[in-house]
Each structure stands twice: as structure tokens, then as C-alpha cells.
Amino acid sequence: MNNQDSLSHVIVVGGGTAGWITAGILAKRFDCANNQSMRVSLVESPNIPILGVGEGTWPTIRNTLQSLGISETEFIRNCDGTFKQGSEFVNWVHTPKDGEKSSYYHPLNSVYHSAYDFNLAAYWLLQDSENRQSYDFATASQAHICSVFKAPKKITTPEFSALQNYSYHLDANKFARFMHEHCVNKLGVEYISADVLRANIDNDGYISSLQTEQVGTISGDFFVDCTGSRALLLGETLGVAYQSIKDVIFNDRAIATHVPYENDDSPIASNTIATAHQNGWTWDIGLSERRGVGIVYSADHTSEAEAELTLKSYIGAQADSLSYRGLQFESGYREKFWKKNCVAIGMSAAFIEPLEASAIFLVEAAANMLAEQFPSTRDDLKYVSEQYNDIFRLRWDKTVDFVKLHYCITKRRDSDYWIDNCAVNSIPESLQDKLKHWQSHLPSKYDFDYAFEPFVLDSYLFVLYGMQFQTKVKYISNRLTEWEKAKYMFDQVQSVANKLNQELPTHRQLLNQVKEYGFSTI
């Protein structure tokens, strides 16, 4: 292939969430359904099951689905979808005693207020600590809504519009099947069912084709590796090494199961519930037909048998009747995400434990950047790939910092797991520097000065002050001059929360209405 020849055929290797989101975004951008000058093919093994554990998303998924021409109603109906308004972190602050429960919310933020516009945290810190509301309830109406199982919108709210910001929980296997049908039938993606045996390399070190068991050789110009942790193309073929971060993020095992609701009108949480235990944490995700529940832990700190006992204790009476699936992973990322004419997206590029459900968001971000910056010829690859690698290394580094934050400022000391997580040598220097600064300075938007940071000011404030991080208010009290405005905004949060609590349906009520009537598309 000549370096001036057009890169006109993109082959995505691997289905699942990463593969189908990427193929859909590329095919939509290239208008493959109507324009034959660009082709997007997806090659998927008929013999490798989808991992299908990650079921949480970020609000960006609404824009992605809408841009692909997907109906929100049909998505919810076909993917066991529910609404996600954030996460509740239970027993992360300190070791529970005598059955007590402590928790805080990291909401997806009320649409009415952002700390970027006016930072209420300083005014909250200066209130009487004995009598003030928790930070989440004081600054976000969404925390109130989540606590009473309310939905983020009404059935009369148009598709993808919000009264409170939201994303989704979904069944990953059903979502992959749904995306498969939509991408092939509506967006012009070519589907090839085949096992890839190897990738073939040309004389210049570029991938030229795939050798498959069922259909022989498949030639292409550009390749997207969505083959999961195997990283068949970027890792095995092009030799890009995997960089472990096990010294920072300890968890490397999970056990997952599906838990049926006790009855047809059981409440459905509109947030992920992440509960800390002595040697790990459990996730609890409410889908419309079941709960997805599992435990994440470190094999260096506890055994599989002990982790399963913890999970079964969390689930309760139904636990012994369920089937369980064990998973192994190692948090980390490739030294490069893009080499030559191949980019890795999803687990083939990186994986960090699912505490903040960042995986699907980073798939969306990767696919959108690839589509926006897609090289026309091989001559364009160097600049675009270097830019891409720089941005995604930043995104993954920032994700590691934010996930580690949840662990390293806890007051729990009931096991080596928590003690080790708080050890200074396990905390990235970038996060150490911020935490030291924030002991005497309020976190501000200037601490997050990169356009592509995945976690920004509001998210950090919810976790920091949800975890009872101490900022010395004596250093900031003389700088606060807008108490009247702050009081108005605190009151507004309560007013909006009360109004929405009266007007919004429960989460289950809305899901039942969506299944029966659907949202308005206008």
C-alpha cells in the first residue's frame, strides 16, 4: 500500500460494547449506509462470549445513542435498561460498627448547579459541622432524589432530555445484540462472523489483513482492536506492552451474579450501590428484570472463598440459589494505544477496576476522537496517533488518580487491604500533591486544567467531602464574601429537591411507563 493511498476500509476486531459502539460511531461519521467510499466491517468470533459484566455508563451515552439514531424507548426496552443518577458509596468512610451504615452519594450533578460556576464547598465547610447536612444533600438535589428511589424524569419528558442528569444501567449482552442489529441494519456496518487466527503484517510493519478460520483472509486499511484483554492486534501482533498499575490499584479479581427481585414491585435504585467490605467492595446495579451484583477484591489480600462468603452475606437469603462467575483482571494500560494503522479501544487498550464505571465512557471518547481525527492516508498517521496517545494517556492517568482517591483517604483500618491502600507509596504523586494542597486550599476549577480530564471539580468535591476530607477552613474564611448568594443556592437545592420529590415518579413506575407507552420523540 502506498502512503498516499486512502485509508478507506476500517476493520473492527471484536464485538461487545467496545466493538459495536466504535463501529457505530465510525459508520455514522463516514455515512456508510449511503456512501460506499468508506467501509466499516466488524469481525466477531462466534465462539468467544462477551464478558458482559460492566453495566454502568456516563451521561455521554445519551448523546452517543441519540447521534446514532437510536430510540431511547427501544434502547430501554431491549437492553433491560434503567436510569443511573450516580453512585452511593456505603461504608467507605470508616469501619462500620454494630450494623451501622454510613454512606454518601456521588451524583451525576443536578442540572441546576455546577461548582465551576459557583463553588458552594467553602461555604458548606464553614457551617457548623454538627448541624449541617452532608455535602451531597446540601449541594445536589439529585442526592435527595436517589435516596427515595425516584426517577430522573417523567414519561412526558422527551427522549434523552432530563429533569435531573442521568445515564443508564444496562445488560451488556443485550446491549451488544441491540447495537449489532442497529449498526448492521441502519448504519451500514458489514458484519463478519469468524475466528481470527492471526494478523498479517506488511513489509513496513503495518497490519495488512486478518487470517480467519471460517472465511480466510480479510484485508483492510485500518484496524481497531476490541479483542479485550488479549489485545490480539496491538499487543500480540504489534508488540505493545501492557503497563500494570497493581501497585496503585490492588483489586484484580471479581465474582459476579444475577439476583432476581423479590417481587414485581420491588424498588429499583437509580444509582449504583458500591459497598465497602473488609477486603474489597460489592457493586449492586438495578436493572429492570434483575440486579447485577458482584464483589471486587485483591487476591493478595483475601481468598476467592472468603470473597464469595462476603458476597453471599451481602446478598442474603437468595444467595445459595444463585450461580456465580469468577473473573480475573489486572488494572493497567498499554504503553501506546495507537501504533501504525491500529488503535486499541476498550479492554485491549486499558482496564481499571469498575468503581466509577469509566470504561464505556472511555470507549465513547476513543471512538469519537478516532472518527473526528481519522487519518486520510498513512502519511497522516504519525501526527494523529501521537496526539491520540498523549490525550488517552492523560485520560487514563487521571482516571487512576480519581479511583485511588476513594481508597486512600478512608479512615478504615480494619484490614491490611485498607491500610495498604492508604500507604503513601501506593498513591500517585499527582494525587498526593493535590491532597496536600487541598488540606489548606479549596479544590477549584484551576486544579483541573486539561480539556480532556474525565473527572473534574464536582466529582472530586463529592468524593472528598463525602469521605470527610479535612480542609482547614481558617485559611479560606476571609476570602468568602458571597454568603447571601450561597444561602440562596443552598435553599434552592432543597426547594428543587422537594418539588421533584413530589412530581417525579418512582424509578420502577417510570420504567413500567416506558415499556407501556414510550417517551415522546419530540
CA distance 153 to 513: 12
DSSP character at residue 284: E
DSSP code per residue over 194-245: --EEEEEE-TTS-EEEEEETTTEEEE-SEEEE--GGG-IIIIIIT-PPEEE-
**291: Cβ–Cβ under 8 A, 6 or more apart, which residues?**
258, 259, 260, 261, 284, 285
Return the sign of the alpha-carbon dihedral for residues 313, 316, 317, 322: negative
Nearest residue to 149 via CA among 459, 510, 490, 518: 510
CA distance 261 to 123: 42
Locate cell 470527610: which residue? Answer: 468
Return the sign of the alpha-carbon dihedral for residues 354, 356, 358, 360: positive
Q: How many C-beta atoms surround the C-beta of residue 205 within 10 A? A: 11
3-state secondary structure of 253: strand
Return the sign of the alpha-carbon dihedral for residues 261, 17, 428, 476: negative
3-state secondary structure of 161: coil
Q: Which long-range contacts (CB under 8 A, 24 or more apart) does 124-133 make?
A: 124/465, 124/490, 125/442, 125/465, 125/471, 125/473, 125/476, 126/473, 126/476, 126/477, 126/480
Written as one letter, the residue type at 291 is R
In the residue annotation, 84 being an active-site residue is answered as yes
Backbone φ and ψ for 190, nearest 5 degrees, come out as: -85, 125
Could you tell me the CA-to-CA distances from 324 to 7, 195, 272 in Å, in that order? 44, 27, 20
Nearest residue to 343 via CA among 243, 187, 235, 241: 235
CA distance 217 to 220: 10
CA distance 496 to 490: 10
Rounded (5°) CA angle 296-144-411: 45
CA distance 328 to 265: 35
Please check whether residue 283 is in contact with residue 296, taking contact to mean a CB–CB distance below 8 angstroms. yes
Q: Active-site residue among 84, 150, 336, 404?
A: 84
Please check whether residue 61 is in contact with residue 148, taking contact to mean a CB–CB distance below 8 angstroms. no
Mind telling me the catalytic residues? 84
